[in-house]
Structure 1
Amino acid sequence: MAEYLAKSNNSLSFEVTQGDQLIGKLTYGSWFNFNAIAEIANVTYQIEPKGFWGTTIELKDHEKVLLKFRMNWNGEIVVQTYFNGIKNGFLFKHRGIFKESFVLTDQEGIELLVMKPNLKWSTLNYEYDITTSDAFETFPDKEIVLINALHCANYYMSMMMSAII
């Protein structure tokens, strides 16, 4: 089990840390835009919507798709990874109302990580406390999945806010 913190310095960028160690960054180009740049260990990945409606989001290393996700009809986000030619599936979902959190599970429903959002009223920026399972910590590409989970949480909250407005 490991603890991470995703902290927003402004409304367009997040840094994910474990203790004092920087794990990666997620930077958006503008508000309400799902295009982003993920930086992990000095490697830059592009995150961009695909398709006519832009409902599928892809994370790419240059032109190679490493991960993609889309929201299904009941508000859960289906995540597919393609690391080293191996396809894996995950489910990212919102849990709770008053003590809300986000959960990433594998195909068997086993929780891999839990993200708890905290709105900092003084700056109106979000922070996420992230707890991962021992199984998640063994993933070779866990940093990419971790940064993508942050993007999924932001995507979910943006989609829910647009549904309210």
Structure 2
Amino acid sequence: MTEYQVKSNDSLVFEVRNNETLIGTLIYKSWFKFNAELEMLHSKYQIEPKGFWGTTIELKEGEKILLKFRMNWNGEIVIQTYFNEIKSGYIFKHRGIFKESFVLADQNGTELLVMKPDLKWSTLHYEYQITTSDIFDTFFEKEILLMTSLHCANYYMSMMTAGM
């Protein structure tokens, strides 16, 4: 089990850290778009909406698609990964109202990570506390999945506030 902290200074840049070690940075181009850049230790990835309505979002390394996600009819986000040419599926969902959190689960329903948002009222920016499972910690591409989960949480929050 590993703990991560997510901090944002301006609601466009989110840094994920484990203790003081920087894992990655998620950088949005503007408030109203889901385009983003994901910077990690030795790699950069692009996150881009696809399709006419932009409902499917792709994470790419150059032109290679590493994963896709979309929100389904009941508010869950379905994630498909293509790491090392192996297709895997995950569900990212919101749970709770007063003690809200987000959960990433595999296709069997096993919880891989729990993300708890914390709205900083003084700046109106979200920060997150993430706890991963021992199973998640064994994943080869866990950092990309961790950063994608952060993007999914921000995507979910913006979709829900847009719907209000």
TM-score using structure 2 length = 0.99
1:133 maps to 133
1:101 maps to 101
What is the deviation of 1:123? Answer: 1.4
Deviations 1:91-119 (A, max 9, x none): 00000000000000000000000000001
Distance in 2 (CA, whole Å) between partners of 1:125 and 1:55 is: 24
The percent identity for this pair of structures is 71
2:82 maps to 82
Deviations 1:6-37 (A, max 9, x none): 11121101000000100000000000210000
Q: What is the DSSP-based 3-state SS (H/G/I as helix, E as strand, rest coil) of the residue aligned with 2:145?
A: helix
What is the deviation of 1:42? Answer: 2.7
Give the partner amino acid of 2:85: G
Give the partner amino acid of 1:20: E
Distance in 2 (CA, whole Å) between partners of 1:152 and 1:77 is: 7
Distance in 2 (CA, whole Å) between partners of 1:77 and 1:44 is: 23
1:122 maps to 122
Distance in 2 (CA, whole Å) between partners of 1:114 and 1:2 is: 11
Unaligned runs of 5+ residues in structure 1 are: none
TM-score using structure 1 length = 0.98
List aligned pairs for 1:22-101, cutoff 5 A: 22-101=22-101
2:15 maps to 15
TM-align CA RMSD: 0.5
